[in-house]
């Protein structure tokens, strides 16, 4: 153990330390007690020695007494050390502990052992490879499968990508399924394209070809499985012997039409599966799992098999787990697949169709809402409405005063240009229409308010006598009005006449002493008088009356009566003339003089004005 | 139920298949012999208070064109060595086959079947040679696939030796 790598291992093991110690002890012992052999060569020396021994006999005895037991112990130890079998026994006793201790310290022991173990394995494999294969068989499968699964995973990934670009109705369904189940798309495609059933599973003893166990699918009737087991074994042997195949290789698949026989061989037993259809790779994995599990569980029974297969009943579940099947939808013989361009066109057409239908639906909704609105609109009676080839048709009656139906269309997002209408005019009897019509005929002044009560038109407020007179006549011709009530209506002209008369009669034109010409600044008053006269004339004409304004001239108390009389007459004439010259017409103007009178006082604070002209209105 | 693999060995046209046909109804056709060189049948026997299912591997007869594939003997519990009593050379073939089996598969029970024993006139084997073989541990049984004589017994004898 320490021989090869002694340089690397300066420390000695416990056994070696012990041996060193014992060597030292033996040397000491030899010095103390020289062995008899050394003296035996020379007789003289022997004699001398014997004499000496005799001489020292007592001393020797003393020595024996002193070191005797130690000497025996040392002799025993020496014998032990010189005997290789004993040494091996000693080392074997502590070897395991020593290895554990050393391994805990550092890796030197492992390093030292590595080449030897490698060599030992090489020799072992060369000698009998089957032994190692048998040892590794139950675990190596899962190791390899794990590695292969990684590679296959990436392959499936790329297959996935390839399939991503293909488009078909079926594909779309599978894609939805993949999304729903969370499986890769490629896996879903494979599942659907593979339809199979594992009909029978055989467990066959490899050496004898005898059937150990056999399971069948529920609907399958198996014929002589033990004979088939034998035949399968024979066929395997035949293939193996007839064709130069390597050691450990065997027939894996038989195929006739749609029946496949899959064979998976372990070191001691073989699982064979009869499959109808195309089974997926998982089925093979299930077989491998089964055979591995069976070897683990029943390896010893397989080795010791002497023809009694009943002991293998316990492995049935492993075989049953291989009874897989897939009854998916069988792929159609000619898969319906669309050319991408056609598919694209169809998609565009489909989208367009949907949009078009949606537009149509939306237009219909809007049209219905619009027609509904027209039904509620006063003054409009829809007798027919329809949608024909993108155009809207409306027929009915419409009061000319009703709202324009086209103008409402915009509110409902209906294109007015697409509406064809034919409205028959009629007169609506709803009160707002009767009033509107009356308003259009009567043209009432803003001071007049109209209201309808049944068929009676009530008027209130003020209006000119002429309008009142005309209204009574015109109202008879308005549809929906049978009579007029004007009792609440006042004649505005009469009232104004009274107001104008009062205003005019308050006016006074003033004159200087002894003069018939108005005082400077009286021009504005004259203008005012002229306006009142003119208005009076108009009102009198409308009321079909005649109005006369008497213009009276006055003087102060100074001067003679004759002079004053003449002066007053002249002052009145001057004003009359001015009014006539300034366009007053339609009013009879009369000028008259008078004797001096009591000065006239204005109502408030105006000083007494004697020299003046005043007015008086007479209505006839 | 105990299962046992039993092989039928012998020279070409010694009547191995005829023996099997006497013994059991086969599901496989004769074609198997010429294709894979073996035909498998089964027969259940009751031997020593025990049901024994014999899976019979009827191997193609050995001739100058085709050798018996010894791998078919792997795992066999015993074999019938069939000899045509009317053809001396079939005994020689049997002796050679028996040695061959012993070297490749090992010492396994066997029964030597002297078939066509109904054809007394054509009998070619001499008893001294058979006795010499018996001394070596051979067991002989006379059968006739034609009359059915000794067929059942030969299988039964082998089964008893195997158990």
**Would the CB atoms of A306 and B2 count as touching at under 8 Å?**
yes
List, in sequence order, every residue forming a beta bridge with B21; answer none if it has no partner.
none
In degrees to the nearest 10, what's the CA dihedral of B131, B136, B137, B141? Answer: -30
The answer on pLDDT for B5 being more than 90 is yes
Interface mutation vs chain A, best among B29, B32, B36, most A CBs within 10 Å: B36
**What pLDDT was estimated at residue A13?**
56
A241 contact residues in B (CB cutoff 8 A): 69, 71
Average pLDDT over residues A271-282: 86
Strands A380-388 and A391-398, by their bridges, are antiparallel
Token look-up 């489909």 returns: A350
- What are the structural domain ranges in chain A? 6-124, 137-326, 341-425, 431-493, 506-619
The answer on pLDDT for A439 being more than 90 is no
The architecture in CATH of the region A137-326 reads 2-Layer Sandwich (3.30)
Which is higher by pLDDT, B114 or A471? Answer: B114
Tokens of A58: 């007592």
How far apart are the C-alpha atoms of A385 and A371, rounded to whole Å? 7
State the DSSP H helix or E strand holding residue B140, giving kind and residue range, or none if neither: strand B140-142
Instruction: Residue B6: name the closest of B61, B37, B60, B43 by CA.
Output: B43
**Would the CB atoms of B2 and A308 count as touching at under 8 Å?**
yes
Tokens of A119: 């060599």
**What pLDDT was estimated at residue B64?**
63
Token look-up 């792929």 returns: A331
Map residue A420 onto helix, strand or coil.
strand
**What pLDDT was estimated at residue A190?**
66
- Residue in chain B closest to A208 (alpha carbons) equals B75
The answer on pLDDT for A10 being more than 50 is no
The answer on pLDDT for A448 being more than 70 is yes
In chain A, % of residues over pLDDT 90: 8
Mean pLDDT of chain A: 81
The answer on pLDDT for A605 being more than 50 is no
Interface mutation vs chain A, best among B1, B2, B3, most A CBs within 10 Å: B3
In degrees to the nearest 10, what's the CA dihedral of A530, A535, A537, A542? Answer: 170
**What pLDDT was estimated at residue A4?**
45
Exposure of A97 in the CB half-sphere (CA atoms within 13 A) = 8
Q: Most confidently modeled of A221-225, B5-9, B24-28? A: B5-9
A234 contact residues in B (CB cutoff 8 A): 36, 38, 40, 57, 72
Among the residue ranges A21-25, A416-420, A460-464, A609-613, the one predicted with the least confidence is A21-25
The answer on pLDDT for B34 being more than 70 is no
Interface mutation vs chain B, best among A221, A234, A250, most B CBs within 10 Å: A234
Q: Exposed, middle or buried, A564 (CB in 10 Å: 0-12/13-18/19+)?
A: buried
A538-558 burial code (b ≥16 CB/10 A, e <16)? bbbebbeeebebbbbbbbbee
**Would the CB atoms of A227 and B41 count as touching at under 8 Å?**
yes
Which is higher by pLDDT, A64 or A437? Answer: A437
Strands A196-205 and A269-277, by their bridges, are antiparallel
Instruction: Residue A196: name the closest of A275, A257, A274, A263 by CA.
Output: A275
Among the residue ranges A375-384, A557-566, B102-111, the one predicted with the least confidence is A557-566
Mean pLDDT of chain B: 86
**What pLDDT was estimated at residue A165?**
55
How far apart are the C-alpha atoms of B16 and B113, rounded to whole Å? 9
**What pLDDT was estimated at residue A335?**
47
C-alpha distances in Å from residue A99, one per residue of A4, A52, A381, A547, B102: 16, 53, 114, 155, 48
Tokens of B62: 């050995």
Residue A446 phi, psi (nearest 5) = -60, -20
Which is higher by pLDDT, B30 or B52? Answer: B52
- Residue in chain B closest to A206 (alpha carbons) equals B75
Which is higher by pLDDT, A53 or A296? Answer: A296
**What pLDDT was estimated at residue A29?**
65
Average pLDDT over residues A258-272: 89
Per-residue pLDDT band for B139 (boundaries 50, 70, 90) equals very high
- What are the structural domain ranges in chain B? 2-162
Q: Which CATH number fits domain B2-162: 3.40.50.300, 3.40.50.11930, 3.40.50.720, 3.40.1280.10?
A: 3.40.50.300
Residue A241 near chain B (CB below 8 Å) = yes
Per-residue pLDDT band for A34 (boundaries 50, 70, 90) equals low
Residue A480 phi, psi (nearest 5) = 100, -10
**What pLDDT was estimated at residue A207?**
87
**What pLDDT was estimated at residue B77?**
93
Contact between A271 and A294 under an 8 Å Cβ cutoff? The reply is yes
Residue A67 near chain B (CB below 8 Å) = no
Instruction: Residue A299: name the closest of A263, A264, A265, A269 by CA.
Output: A269
So what CATH class is A431-493?
alpha beta
Summarize pLDDT for A390-427 with one digit per residue, the tens.
788 888 999 888 888 888 888 888 888 888 888 898 88
The answer on pLDDT for A39 being more than 50 is no
Q: What is the pTM of this model?
A: 0.43
**Would the CB atoms of A227 and B5 count as touching at under 8 Å?**
no
Q: Mark residue A480 as left, alpha or beta (left: phi above 0; alpha: psi -120 to 50; beta: remaining).
A: left
Summarize pLDDT for B96-137 with one digit per residue, the tens.
999 999 998 899 999 999 999 888 888 888 889 899 999 999
Which ranges of A377-481 does DSSP label H, i.e. alpha helix?
A: 405-409, 431-442, 465-474
Residue B1 near chain A (CB below 8 Å) = yes
**What pLDDT was estimated at residue A332?**
43
Q: At what angle do helices A14-32 and A84-105 cross, to 10 degrees?
A: 140
The architecture in CATH of the region A341-425 reads 2-Layer Sandwich (3.30)
Residue A302 near chain B (CB below 8 Å) = no
**What pLDDT was estimated at residue A280?**
80
Per-residue pLDDT band for B27 (boundaries 50, 70, 90) equals low
The answer on pLDDT for A567 being more than 80 is yes
Average pLDDT over residues A512-532: 87
Summarize pLDDT for B69-103 with one digit per residue, the tens.
788 888 999 999 999 999 999 999 999 999 999 99
State the DSSP H helix or E strand holding residue A275, giving kind and residue range, or none if neither: strand A269-277
How far apart are the C-alpha atoms of A183 and A197, rounded to whole Å? 22
How far apart are the C-alpha atoms of A70 and A57, rounded to whole Å? 20
The answer on pLDDT for A5 being more than 50 is no
ipTM, 2 dp = 0.85
**What pLDDT was estimated at residue B141?**
93
In chain B, % of residues over pLDDT 70: 91
How far apart are the C-alpha atoms of B129 and B136, rounded to whole Å? 11
The answer on pLDDT for B156 being more than 60 is yes
**Would the CB atoms of A230 and B75 count as touching at under 8 Å?**
no
Per-residue pLDDT band for A9 (boundaries 50, 70, 90) equals very low
Summarize pLDDT for A145-158 with one digit per residue, the tens.
777 877 776 666 66
How far apart are the C-alpha atoms of A370 and A560, rounded to whole Å? 94
C-alpha distances in Å from residue A153, one per residue of A49, A148, A157, A405: 94, 8, 6, 71
Closest partner CB to B42 (pick from A227, A234, A237): A227
**What pLDDT was estimated at residue A162?**
62
Give the number of A-B residue pairs with CB atoms closer than 8 Å. Answer: 70
Closest partner CB to A241 (pick from B55, B69, B76): B69
Asked: is A506-619 a CATH 3.30.1330.60 domain? The reply is: yes
Contacts made by residues A587-590, CB under 8 angstroms, sequence distance 24+: A587/A533, A587/A534, A587/A536, A587/A537, A587/A540, A587/A547, A587/A548, A587/A549, A588/A546, A588/A547, A588/A548, A588/A549, A589/A533, A589/A548, A589/A549, A589/A551, A590/A548, A590/A549, A590/A550, A590/A551
Detail the DSSP E strand segments found in A308-399: 325-326, 380-388, 391-398
Among the residue ranges A78-92, A352-366, A546-560, B13-27, the one predicted with the least confidence is B13-27
Task: Identify the DSSP state of B59.
Answer: E
The answer on pLDDT for A3 being more than 60 is no
C-alpha distances in Å from residue A362, one per residue of A391, A393, A408, A421: 14, 17, 18, 21
């Amino acid at each position: 153990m320490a021989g090869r790598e002694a340089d690397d291992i300066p420390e000695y093991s416990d056994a070696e330390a012990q041996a060193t110690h014992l060597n030292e002890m033996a040397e000491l012992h030899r010095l103390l007690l020289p062995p008899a052999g050394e003296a035996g060569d020379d007789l003289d020396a022997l004699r001398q020695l014997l004499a000496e021994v005799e001489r020292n006999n007592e001393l020797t005895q003393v020595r024996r007494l002193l070191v005797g037991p130690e000497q025996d112990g040392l002799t025993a130890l020496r014998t032990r050390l010189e005997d290789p079998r004993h040494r091996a026994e000693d080392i074997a006793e502590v070897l395991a502990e020593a290895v554990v201790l050393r391994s805990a310290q550092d890796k030197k022991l492992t390093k030292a052992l590595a080449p030897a173990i490698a060599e030992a394995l090489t020799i072992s494999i060369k000698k009998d490879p089957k032994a190692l294969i048998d040892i590794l068989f139950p675990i190596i499968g899962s190791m390899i499968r794990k590695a292969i699964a990684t590679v296959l995973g990436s392959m499936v990934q790329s297959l996935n990508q390839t399939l991503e670009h293909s488009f078909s109705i079926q594909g779309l369904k599978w894609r939805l399924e993949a999304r729903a189940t969370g499986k890769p798309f490629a896996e879903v495609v494979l599942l659907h394209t593979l339809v199979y059933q594992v009909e029978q599973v055989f467990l066959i003893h490899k050496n004898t070809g005898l059937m150990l166990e056999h399971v069948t699918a529920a609907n399958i009737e198996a014929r002589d499985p033990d004979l088939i087991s034998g035949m399968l074994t024979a066929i395997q042997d035949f293939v193996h012997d007839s064709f130069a195949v390597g050691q450990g290789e065997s027939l894996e698949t038989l195929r006739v039409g749609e029946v496949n026989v899959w064979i998976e061989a372990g070191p001691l037993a073989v699982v064979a599966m009869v499959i109808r259809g195309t089974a997926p790779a998982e089925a093979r994995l299930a077989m491998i799992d089964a055979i591995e599990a069976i070897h683990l569980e029943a390896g010893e029974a397989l080795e010791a098999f002497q023809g009694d297969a009943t002991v293998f009943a316990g492995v049935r579940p492993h075989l049953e787990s291989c009874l897989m099947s897939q009854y998916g939808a069988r792929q159609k013989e000619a898969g319906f697949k669309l050319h991408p361009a056609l598919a694209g066109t169809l998609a565009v057409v489909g989208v367009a169709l949907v949009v078009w239908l949606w537009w149509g639906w939306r237009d219909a909704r809007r049209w219905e809402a619009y027609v509904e609105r027209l039904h509620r609109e006063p003054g409009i009676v829809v007798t027919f409405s329809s949608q024909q080839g993108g155009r809207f048709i409306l027929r009915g009656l419409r009061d000319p005063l009703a709202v324009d139906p086209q103008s409402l269309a915009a509110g409902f997002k209906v294109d007015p240009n697409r509406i064809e209408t034919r409205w028959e005019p009629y007169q609506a009897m709803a009160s707002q229409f009767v009033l509107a019509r009356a308003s259009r005929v009567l043209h009432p002044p803003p001071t007049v308010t109209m209201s309808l009560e049944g068929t009676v038109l009530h008027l209130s407020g003020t209006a000119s006598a002429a309008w009142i007179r005309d209204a009574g006549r015109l109202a008879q011709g308005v549809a929906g009005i049978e009579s007029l009530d004007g009792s609440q209506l006042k004649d505005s002209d009469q009232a104004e006449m009274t107001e104008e008369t009062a205003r005019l009669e308050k006016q006074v034109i003033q004159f200087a002493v002894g003069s018939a010409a108005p005082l400077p600044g009286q021009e504005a008053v004259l203008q005012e008088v002229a306006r009142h006269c003119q208005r009076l004339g108009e009102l009198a004409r409308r009321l079909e009356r005649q109005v006369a304004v008497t213009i009276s001239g006055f003087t102060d108390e100074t001067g003679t009566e004759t002079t004053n009389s003449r002066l007053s007459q002249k002052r009145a004439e001057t004003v009359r003339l001015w009014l006539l010259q300034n366009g007053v017409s339609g009013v009879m103007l009369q000028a008259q003089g008078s004797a001096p009178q009591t000065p006239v006082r204005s109502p408030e604070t105006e000083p007494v004005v004697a020299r003046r002209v005043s007015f008086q209105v007479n209505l006839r | 139920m105990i299962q046992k693999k039993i092989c039928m060995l012998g020279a070409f046209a010694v009547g191995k298949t005829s023996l099997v046909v006497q013994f059991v109804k086969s599901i496989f056709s004769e074609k198997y012999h010429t294709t894979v060189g073996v035909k498998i049948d089964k027969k259940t026997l009751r031997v020593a208070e025990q049901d024994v299912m014999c899976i019979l591997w009827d191997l193609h007869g050995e001739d100058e064109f085709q050798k018996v594939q010894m791998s078919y003997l792997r795992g066999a519990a015993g074999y019938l060595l069939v000899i045509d009593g009317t053809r001396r050379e079939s005994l020689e073939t049997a002796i050679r086959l028996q040695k061959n089996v012993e070297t490749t598969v090992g010492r396994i029970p066997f029964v030597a079947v002297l078939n066509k024993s109904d054809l007394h006139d054509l009998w070619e084997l001499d008893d001294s040679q058979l006795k010499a073989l018996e001394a070596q541990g051979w067991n002989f049984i006379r059968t006739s696939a034609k009359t059915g004589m000794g067929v059942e017994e030969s299988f039964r004898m082998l089964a008893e030796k195997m158990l």
